[in-house]
Amino acid sequence: MIQVAICDDHVMVREALAAVIAHEDGLEVVGITDSIASTRELLQNMTPDVLVADVRLDGESGLDVARAVVAEHPHVKVIVLTSFNSDEALVAAYELGASAFVLKTGSSLGLMNTIRDVASGMKLINPTEVRTASESLEMRGLGMIRRLDANDRHIARLIALGYSDKQIAETVYLGLQTVRNRVSRMLSRFGKENRTQLALFFSEYHSEISDL
């Protein structure tokens, strides 16, 4: 019997997933969680063979859940589930050690087969697709950075260096709220969930930003 845990913050989605999995021969749902904390608590009491984790959680990232599980419980195979085909999520899932990256638009039969395959030890994320996604991200990221105005490029450099909004405002001689608004727009523009992700992203392109 393959034991499966589900991490999703939408009640209807996780209940639907649990119902589908429970009706499959050889599969058993042993836990349902909605955050990093609840997933860690679950894994203190049981060791499922497979964790199916949604990319988007309320206030957290499913990728962070997956990362924590892979690091702390390497025997648990992780399937990252997403409603949209994101190059960034695909690359992140591969790099953190997930076994599969599955779109919600696929069939339930496909997901059941994926659960069985990863439980048997198969890695289903295609390295060629990951390389293509990485190249696309690099091209898009640098292109978007080059289109930032002078103030935003300066702010991006300071974010990469770990400056706070207040420190940035004092450095670039802009109001604190203006800086916050610009940072918020950049979070949305570059598809980052939080300030840490944005800082890591800009740090990867720090030399390029400095040359602009």
Distance, in Å, from the CA atom of 66 to the CA atom of 43, rounded to the nearest integer, reads 12
For the cut 90, the answer to whether the pLDDT of residue 191 exceeds it is no
- Average pLDDT along the chain: 90
The domains of the chain are located at: 2-129, 143-211
pLDDT tens, position by position, 24-81: 999 999 999 999 999 999 999 999 999 999 998 887 888 999 999 999 999 999 999 9
Q: Are 6 and 29 in contact (CB under 8 A)?
A: yes
Q: How confident is the model at residue 170 (pLDDT cuts 50, 70, 90)?
A: very high
Give the type of residue at 121.
G
DSSP result, 3-53 = EEEEE-S-HHHHHHHHHHHHTSTTEEEEEEESSHHHHHHHHHH---SEEEE
What average pLDDT score do residues 16-24 get?
93
The rounded distance, in Å, linking the Cα atoms of 118 and 124 is 7
**Could you tell me the CA-to-CA distances from 172 to 117, 181, 195, 197 in Å, in that order?**
53, 14, 18, 22
How far is 121 from 25, CA to CA, in rounded Å?
Answer: 19
Question: What percent of the chain is modeled with pLDDT above 70?
Answer: 97
Reported as a single tens digit per residue, the pLDDT across 69-127 is 999 999 999 999 998 888 888 988 999 999 999 999 899 999 999 999 999 999 999 99
CB-based burial, 55-90: b 16+ in 10 Å, e otherwise = bbbeebbbbbbbbbbbeebeebbbbbbbeeebbbbb
| Structure confidence at residue 136 as a pLDDT band (50, 70, 90) | confident
- What's residue 209's pLDDT? 67
- Tell me which fold the domain 143-211 belongs to: Arc Repressor Mutant, subunit A (1.10.10)
Pick the CATH number of 2-129 from 3.40.50.2300, 3.40.47.10, 3.40.50.300, 3.90.550.10: 3.40.50.2300
What is d(CA 114, CA 204) in angstroms, rounded to the nearest whole number? 33
**12-22 average pLDDT score:** 93
Q: Residue 212 has what pLDDT?
A: 47
Dist. CA 19–CA 7, nearest whole Å: 14
